Amino acid sequence: MNGLRLVTLDLDNTLWDVEKTIRAAEQELVQWLAQHARPAHEIYTSSDILDLRNQTLERHPDIRHDLSRLRIEILFSVMRAAQYPVDEARKLADAAFEVFFAGRNRVAFFPHALEMLRALSARYPIYALTNGNADAKRTGISPYLQGAISSADVGASKPDPRMFQAALDRAGIEAQHCVHIGDHIDDDINGANAVGMHSIWVNLNNTQTVDEGSEPGHQVHHLSEVMGAIAAIEATLANNPK
């Protein structure tokens, strides 16, 4: 069977503005700490947090790609630095993370994101492929997805080929029948190109530039243009069957 049979899709900064989302989630976390763990709030909002983060990474290098576990462990380190007993520190860290994670998944979609997902999912199975820790169910996109794969699942982050291969293996599809859609020229486009996938670069602000050797298969400046790029890939495949 020729043509596209699978779509993989980045999430952060492809479907929504992750920096804006994280800033809002951080504000909610800081407010919660101020109300429920004041000594930890003083540490979390000070320059000490950088050292605690680095120390946590040194103690737990195996969770570098698991952003949820990493944040929980950082929060636990903050609680311990604030002199909470171990059991209480763990409970507070888990509660604080849940406050952050709720905000992290309260995303504001870019224009036409949900319309694009509906159109794509009507024609292709879609796998989310993300270095982040957004939860597909909590963001509301799970009805459009066949599955979601994160760097925490794989133990590596895009552009590592293992991320892309994980989606291909799970779907049982060869790379030439898959297109990856994402905003990051290295993590998404170079990573997809390296394993033989087609690629669509989501360059919404039209301010990024592409280095030589990093050419996306297609480029869009609005998510409403994605289906047109998909059609162009399908037409190319139909004219050049392998």
181-208: per-residue pLDDT in tens? 999 999 999 999 999 999 999 999 876 6
pTM above 0.95, yes or no: no
Span 31-42, pLDDT tens digits: 999 999 999 999
Tell me, yes or no, whether 225 and 124 share the same domain. yes
> Is 199 domain-assigned?
yes
> Is 144 domain-assigned?
yes
* CA separation for the pair 68, 24 (Å, rounded): 17
User: Taking 90 as the threshold, does the pLDDT of residue 1 lie above it?
Assistant: no
Q: In sequence order, what are the beta bridge partners of 198?
A: 179
* CA separation for the pair 81, 43 (Å, rounded): 8
Q: Distance of alpha carbon 115 from its chain centroid, rounded?
A: 19
Give the CATH number, domain containing residue 67: 1.20.120.1600
Structurally, how many domains does the chain consist of?
Answer: 2
Band the pLDDT of 215: cuts 50, 70, 90.
confident
* CA separation for the pair 135, 103 (Å, rounded): 11
Band the pLDDT of 15: cuts 50, 70, 90.
very high
What is the predicted pLDDT for the residue at 72? 97
Which domain does 39 fall in, by range?
19-104
What is the predicted pLDDT for the residue at 207? 67
Tell me, yes or no, whether 146 and 159 share the same domain. yes
Tell me, yes or no, whether 193 and 215 share the same domain. yes
> Is 26 domain-assigned?
yes
User: Taking 90 as the threshold, does the pLDDT of residue 240 lie above it?
Assistant: no
Tell me, yes or no, whether 121 and 63 share the same domain. no
* Last-in-domain residue among 75, 104, 133: 104
Tell me, yes or no, whether 194 and 93 share the same domain. no
Tell me, yes or no, whether 115 and 86 share the same domain. no
Tell me, yes or no, whether 36 and 142 share the same domain. no
> Is 1 domain-assigned?
no
What is the predicted pLDDT for the residue at 213? 65
Tell me, yes or no, whether 230 and 114 share the same domain. yes
Q: Which of 118, 122, 116 is nearest to 228 (CA)?
A: 116
Tell me, yes or no, whether 48 and 99 share the same domain. yes
Span 111-164, pLDDT tens digits: 999 999 999 999 999 999 999 999 999 999 999 999 999 999 999 999 999 999
Tell me, yes or no, whether 121 and 231 share the same domain. yes
Band the pLDDT of 2: cuts 50, 70, 90.
confident
Band the pLDDT of 239: cuts 50, 70, 90.
confident
* Last-in-domain residue among 49, 69, 104: 104
